[in-house]
């Protein structure tokens, strides 16, 4: 009889433990984000702070902004955290997201070899720099992956009056890859490339490359966060996702983002309203 009672107690204890483990395992969200937030190390820095406070694990899937948005549209993420405001606003307007919030910003930069074959070094007029690269037919490495950086680059070619598509495979080379891989390709080819500043600072294979153009207002790079609409996808973890968004927008979250630095440089500047 005592043995039976012992096994009954043991079984009850195991059931409670399994229930708690299952509950804990369910306390996670999926965030569809960009390669820049992941590759820069920002998420590795701030997410443990959020998880310790909330008990919610954050699983990041880092893709180009276009692919991250499509992932969220398909209901494969709870939160969207990207950097192409027109696409984000369209995501909300079409009912895929509830509300978009500004979180932080940095800027894009043009990098290139120190030999500067297009003669653009020091030119803060980014459209003039792009036009000069095209006129000189200097090599340019594009992500070509529908990311936020790629979308920004396409807009700059348009403003410069350059038909970059006609030059595809000639001086204009699309890698179809993320920012780090594209920078590696640019260095290997001696090609110019547009990069977000955070990824450039974290990039270790700079070789003889440096920033050749920066500071234009056109290079402003805003990041936003959106909860995926649970009415579109009922399995979305709205409560946990909103808890993450609330934290990111809170003073604690904003301070965590602002305190993230590499080589003494602040990579992201907060502007949540």
pLDDT tens readout for residues 188-239: 999 999 999 999 999 999 999 999 999 999 999 999 999 999 999 999 999 9
Q: Output the pLDDT for position 4.
A: 56
Q: Output the pLDDT for position 5.
A: 57
CATH homologous superfamily, domain 2-106+222-270: Periplasmic binding protein-like II (3.40.190.10)
CB distance 180 to 204 below 8 Å: no
CB distance 107 to 201 below 8 Å: no
Other beta carbons within 10 Å of 252 = 14
Q: Output the pLDDT for position 1.
A: 46
Can you give the pTM of this predicted structure?
0.84
Whose tokens are 């009415």? That residue is: 231
Low-confidence ranges of the chain (pLDDT < 50): 1-3, 6, 8, 10-11, 14-24
Q: Output the pLDDT for position 3.
A: 47
CB distance 62 to 37 below 8 Å: yes
| Alpha helices for the chain (secondary structure H) | 2-25, 35-39, 42-54, 65-73, 85-93, 126-136, 148-160, 179-189, 197-202, 238-249, 251-258
CATH topology of domain 107-219: D-Maltodextrin-Binding Protein; domain 2 (3.40.190)
Q: Output the pLDDT for position 255.
A: 97
Domains of the chain: which residue ranges?
2-106+222-270, 107-219
Q: Output the pLDDT for position 192.
A: 98
Query: Do the two domains 2-106+222-270 and 107-219 of this chain adopt the same fold?
Result: yes
Q: Beta strand 57-62 with 193-196: parallel, antiparallel or unpaired?
A: unpaired
Distances in Å between the Cα of 20 and the Cα atoms of 14, 15, 16, 178, 224 are 10, 9, 6, 39, 34
* Cβ neighbours of residue 273 closer than 8 Å, sequence gap 6 or more: 101, 102
Question: Would you give the distance in Å from CA 218 to the centre of its chain?
Answer: 19
């Amino acid at each position: 009889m005592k043995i039976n009672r012992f096994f009954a107690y043991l079984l009850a204890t195991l059931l409670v433990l399994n229930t708690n483990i299952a509950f804990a395992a369910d306390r996670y969200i999926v965030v569809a984000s960009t390669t820049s937030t992941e590759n820069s190390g920002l998420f590795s820095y701030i997410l443990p702070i959020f998880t310790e406070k909330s008990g919610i694990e954050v699983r990041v899937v880092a893709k180009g902004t276009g692919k991250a948005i499509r992932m969220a549209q398909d209901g494969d993420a709870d939160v969207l955290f990207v950097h192409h405001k027109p696409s984000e606003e369209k995501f909300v307007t079409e009912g895929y997201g509830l509300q978009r919030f500004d979180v932080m910003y940095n800027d894009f930069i043009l990098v290139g070899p120190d030999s500067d074959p297009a003669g653009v070094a020091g030119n803060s007029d980014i459209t003039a720099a792009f036009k000069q690269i095209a006129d000189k037919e200097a090599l340019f490495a594009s992500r070509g992956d529908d990311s936020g950086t790629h979308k920004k680059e396409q807009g700059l070619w348009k403003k410069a009056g350059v038909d970059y598509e006609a030059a595809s495979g000639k001086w204009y080379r699309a890698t179809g890859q993320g920012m780090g891989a594209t920078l590696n390709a640019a260095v290997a080819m001696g090609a110019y490339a547009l990069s977000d500043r955070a990824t450039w600072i974290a990039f270790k294979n700079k070789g003889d490359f440096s920033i050749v153009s920066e500071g234009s207002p056109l290079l402003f790079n805003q990041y936003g966060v959106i909860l995926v609409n649970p009415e579109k996808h009922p399995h979305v973890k709205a409560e946990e996702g909103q808890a993450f968004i609330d934290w990111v927008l809170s003073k604690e979250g904003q301070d965590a983002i602002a305190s993230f630095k590499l080589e003494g440089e602040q990579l992201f500047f907060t502007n949540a309203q």
